[in-house]
Amino acid sequence: MKPAPFAYVRAASLDQVFDLLARHGDEARLLAGGQSLVPTLNLRLSAPALLIDLNGLDELDGIALENGALRIGALTRQRTVEESEEVARHAPLLKMAMPYIAHPAIRNRGTIGGSIAFADPAAELPACAVALGAQIEVQGAQGPRTIEADRFFRALYETDLRPGEVVTAVTIPKRTGYRSAIAELARRHGDYAMVGLAAHARVDSRALADVRLVFFGVGAKPVRAHAAGVAIEGSEVDEASVAAAQAALAADLEPVGDLHASAATKLHLAGVLTARVLRQLAAWVR
Ligand SMILES: Cc1cc2nc3c(=O)[nH]c(=O)nc-3n(C[C@H](O)[C@H](O)[C@H](O)COP(=O)(O)OP(=O)(O)OC[C@H]3O[C@@H](n4cnc5c(N)ncnc54)[C@H](O)[C@@H]3O)c2cc1C
């Protein structure tokens, strides 16, 4: 199928974007990498009157260390994030997540900001952002604001973005002594996850602290498993502590079955991933 007809503007500045969004409202859509938007246009699931192309806005692109944090511009391609030495050093979870996202051709175009703004509940990057305690920078005609990632994702494909606002960057605090891990189960490599888990924790001696376990593919948005995190907090990773974290998942997760798996299967797979991810964290400790 071909998309419904639309007008197209390649924006020359953020101010022009804000002006177009103010004038066209719901009739306009932002175009970043196009890897989620274009399929929805081609399938006519969406038929905006105007596409506002962000790809000329160099100020939204790039990775930098600023004020003790790693700042990744919204338009930075997923492939660039995957290959960045700064990301590997300061936010390795993002590098580890990238091979799970589709295929290289899609990551060559897809952007970090597009994935965060689209907020697919089975996507890797929103869960990583929550696990890393990232902040989402947004900007509109009223000025910039910063939102904690775990407040940014609100419901199914719904974020804290207000009408007229654009995601401008993702900022990750630099922390020492932390370790990351990620695992997911999908029917085929590159598919969205049936269930996935992104984890970030501090390693004190051999014990885990400040454990942030964030599931994707089990709810309407990234789900932080607080009870499982508490269950493993202060413990070394061994059979008993892994079992305690797995048992706690029933209090954290209320998966809804979908085309790929029933709710019970998803809960079981979440337990499998919890063991895998905690062992990945422990492999570094020893
Ligand atoms: C075959 C296939 C497999 C895929 N598999 C996966 C997968 O396994 N995991 C995964 O996470 N993703 C997957 N994706 C999606 C891919 O990661 C997309 O690149 C990503 O979801 C959207 O990024 P984009 O830059 O392409 O955004 P676009 O498609 O351009 O935009 C997506 C939405 O976000 C809005 N938007 C974009 N940028 C901004 C911004 N800066 N501010 C505000 N709103 C914005 C757009 O208006 C649109 O509504 C897959 C895509 C395809 C085609």
In a structure prediction context, what are the per-residue pLDDT tens digits for the chain, which is 286 residues long? 789 999 999 999 999 999 999 999 999 999 999 999 999 999 999 999 999 999 999 999 999 999 889 999 999 999 999 999 999 999 999 999 999 999 999 999 999 999 999 999 999 999 999 999 999 999 999 999 999 999 999 999 999 999 999 999 999 999 999 999 999 999 888 889 999 999 999 998 889 999 999 999 999 999 999 999 999 999 999 999 999 999 999 999 999 888 889 999 999 999 999 999 999 998 854 4
| Nearest atom in ligand 1 to 113's CA | 41
* Sign of the torsion angle spanned by Cα atoms 225, 248, 229, 198: negative
Residue nearest to atom 21 of ligand 1 (CA): 115
Task: Note whether 97 and 124 are within 8 A (CB).
Answer: yes
- Between the CA of 63 and the centroid of ligand 1 the distance, in Å, is 19
Please, is 13 exposed, middle or buried when counting C-beta atoms within 10 Å of its C-beta (0-12, 13-18, 19+)? exposed
- Residue 284 confidence (pLDDT): 55
Compute the C-alpha angle 154/156/161, nearest 5°: 45
Those residues whose C-beta lies under 8 Å from the C-beta of residue 71, and which sit 6 or more positions away, are 63, 64, 65, 137, 169, 170, 171
Residue nearest to atom 33 of ligand 1 (CA): 118
Dihedral angle computed from the Cα positions of residues 55, 58, 62 and 65, in that order, rounded to the nearest 10 degrees: -150
Those residues whose C-beta lies under 8 Å from the C-beta of residue 238, and which sit 6 or more positions away, are none
Task: Note whether 165 and 139 are within 8 A (CB).
Answer: yes
Residue written as tokens 């085929």? 188
Please, is 202 exposed, middle or buried when counting C-beta atoms within 10 Å of its C-beta (0-12, 13-18, 19+)? middle
Of the CA atoms within 13 Å of residue 34, those in its CB half-sphere come to 12
- Between the CA of 110 and the centroid of ligand 1 the distance, in Å, is 6
Please, is 81 exposed, middle or buried when counting C-beta atoms within 10 Å of its C-beta (0-12, 13-18, 19+)? buried
Of the CA atoms within 13 Å of residue 108, those in its CB half-sphere come to 3
- Between the CA of 117 and the centroid of ligand 1 the distance, in Å, is 8
- Residue 16 confidence (pLDDT): 98
- Between the CA of 268 and the centroid of ligand 1 the distance, in Å, is 29
**Ligand 1: residues within 6 Å at CB?**
29-37, 39, 54, 74, 101-102, 106, 110-111, 113-115, 117-118, 120, 123-125, 166-167, 191-192
Pocket test for ligand 1, best of 26, 29, 31, 36 (most atoms within 8 A of CB): 36
* Sign of the torsion angle spanned by Cα atoms 28, 34, 36, 41: positive
0.75 cut: is pTM over it?
yes
Residue written as tokens 């979870």? 93
| Nearest atom in ligand 1 to 186's CA | 8
DSSP-assigned beta bridge partners for residue 147:
136
Angle of helix 239-252 relative to helix 263-285, nearest 10 degrees, comes to 140
Task: Note whether 61 and 87 are within 8 A (CB).
Answer: no
- Residue 285 confidence (pLDDT): 46
